[in-house]
Structure 1
């Protein structure tokens, strides 16, 4: 039977993690060593990955040979956003995947759990881990928002299998808020793989808890509230994949308060000139050359850092063209390198490398 292209599809054919982080369970061990393999290679072609990964796991772990398709070894991690794959089929760790593995090897599993939560927040359909799906939404933003709204009664297994996985647009969510049910939306037969492989994996690592129904785990509830309490329901859906950077920026506006005075301070400090090139003159506005304030480390990254990103030292003045380039250019490498040099004191003080900055702006 062909895949329903408008259903929340699970990646691969197993859980990405199947026990609390730090425990040497089968899937935990497999996923961690897949990340280690990719980290050692730095970049590896998909074809080489598929040729080598089973032998690598046999040498590094107690992995037993089976008939699993090699691509299934990385798809769950791709879905989660700990790895990425380029149009030329090169696989590498994302910034978050690299940090997750770093803290995992240090035994800091609470930090690792929060990186999983934060990457779930980034996960969207369409997704390279589930290529056939044509939805345009953030499934886990919807899931966690509903869990907050249903704090007392939780979400049932039946709802997750028969209804949630067929939610596809804002009107469906509005219907749920009105009727506490998605019975009226178009759906096929119950689909249990998202529940079995994804929802239960979140229970295994302690992001969700299972009683009669499903709830957010107590020790991570505050983080979930920060991420979703103030988000508008419309922000869970989008119409154009090229707008995702802007959507992330809008989401950050809803989540984190910003001090507008800091933008004015940065412009004044920079002499109302573009920090990429002071010769970029625009037009006069309120008596000054018009420039725009830009947070170098984007505010949507705040969830991954303990220091405050809404800091005048994290803001640079850019002309409108450079500002659009840093958000929307296919290749942002050169402009990011220039901005990093301008802001190097703040970056170095907070241990943020140029390579990390480049990875933050990879919006695809």
Structure 2
């Protein structure tokens, strides 16, 4: 299993057109140093929460190193998490639809927004019975939409139709940092600070539009939310966000 995972990881890097030396640095050198220090091989970890725990330990290990490793070791684990997500995470279309329906049902039952909302910093857990699908709290999504006053945060003039459940402008909750990548973060990304309110058209464009259009929308949202993401312990660079959406960064 370990050898196959390693070879598949290397092949994933090759598809990304990384240099041979860079691939060796992450797949061999970093892995071997992590195993030496922590006695853990990331090639043997099958569950994303186990990889998440390893990433936290490796980041702490880097801080103790006398020489600056330039995040080589945590980057190796982060890249392995991305590889696992890209290669093993199933199509979540039905799960996404269920989440949107649950958020709508929650909004329909909610009469008022609490004056102060505290979302947990602890990472969200996996959906019961899965090894790579993180859960989402419908109440957090509903609160984010209420805070946005049921408007699209790309353009408040986007009013496609009135929801028959809420009797308000229909919008959808979208995780700016995709929830699939929760394992790359120590703190929860299922938070109000990471959830944007989008009309269904903008939501679909972010997922399925041309990369040039997606970059434009994501940059607008990123500039609006980046400071609050940093404040809740989930900072991310824009180029890294684009990578999570599978966008060709040469277009940016």
Superposition TM-score, scaled by structure 2 size: 0.53
Question: Whole-Å Cα distance in 2 between the matches of residues 228 and 288 of structure 1?
Answer: 30
1:129 match:
none
- Structure richer in helix, relative to its length: 2
1:333 aligns with 2:232: no
Structure 1 residues 356, 264: closer, same or farther in 2, change over 3 A? same
Alignment of 1:323 with 2:203, yes or no, is yes
SS at 2:196 equivalent: strand
Report which of the two structures shows the higher radius of gyration computed on alpha carbons: 1
Q: Which runs of 5+ in 1 are unaligned?
A: 1-9, 17-74, 125-137, 143-225, 233-250
| CA shift in 2, pair 1:287/1:359, >3 Å | same
1:265 to 140, 143, 155: 143
Partner of 1:106: 69
Rate the CA distance shift 1:117–1:267 in 2: closer, same or farther, 3 A: same
Deviations 1:83-120 (A, max 9, x none): 724xxx999x99xx7xx899786287874564364244
Q: CA deviation at 1:328?
A: 1.0
What residue number does 2:47 align with? none
Does structure 2 conserve the Cα–Cα contact (< 8 Å) formed by 1:281 and 1:289? yes
Q: For residues 300 and 363 of structure 1, do their structure 2 counterparts lie closer, same or farther at Cα, with a shift above 3 Å needed?
A: farther
CA RMSD in angstroms, aligned pairs only: 4.2
Instruction: Give the match for residue 274 of structure 1.
Output: 152
Distance 2:199 2:135 in 1: 24
Residue 243 of structure 2: aligned partner: 359
Residue of structure 2 aligned with 1:84, choices 10, 16, 19: 16
Tell me if structure 1 keeps the 8 A contact 2:81–2:183: yes
Any conservation in 1 of the 2:175–2:195 contact (CA below 8 Å)? yes
TM (norm. structure 1) is 0.38
Divergent runs of 4+, >4 A: 100-105, 107-110, 226-229
Any unmatched runs of 5+ in structure 2? 32-57, 63-67, 91-124
- Alpha-carbon contact 2:126-2:135 (below 8 Å) kept: no
Query: Residues 82 and 181 of structure 2 are in contact (CA less than 8 Å); yes or no, is this contact kept in structure 1?
Result: no
Task: Tell me the distance in 2 between the aligned counterparts of 1:118 and 1:229.
Answer: 20
- SS of equivalent to 1:343: helix
Q: Which residue of 2 aligns with 1:346?
A: 228
Q: Which residue of 2 aligns with 1:121?
A: 84
Q: 1:113 to 1:354 in 2, by over 3 A?
A: closer
CA drift at 1:263: 1.1
Q: Deviations over 1:7-37 (max 9, x none)?
A: xxx79xxx76xxxxxxxxxxxxxxxxxxxxx
Kept in 2: contact 1:272–1:317 (CA 8 A): yes
- The superposition leaves residues 311-336 of structure 1 with CA deviations (integer Å, 9 ceiling, x where unpaired) of 01100100000000111113111010
- Does the CA-based 8 Å contact 1:80-1:119 persist in structure 2? no
CA offset at residue 288 of structure 1? 0.6
After TM superposition, list the pairs within 5 Å mapping 1:127-166 onto structure 2. 138=88
1:289 pairs with one of 153, 157, 169 = 169
Q: From the superposition, tell whether residues 230 and 120 of structure 1 become closer, same or farther in structure 2 (CA, over 3 Å).
A: farther
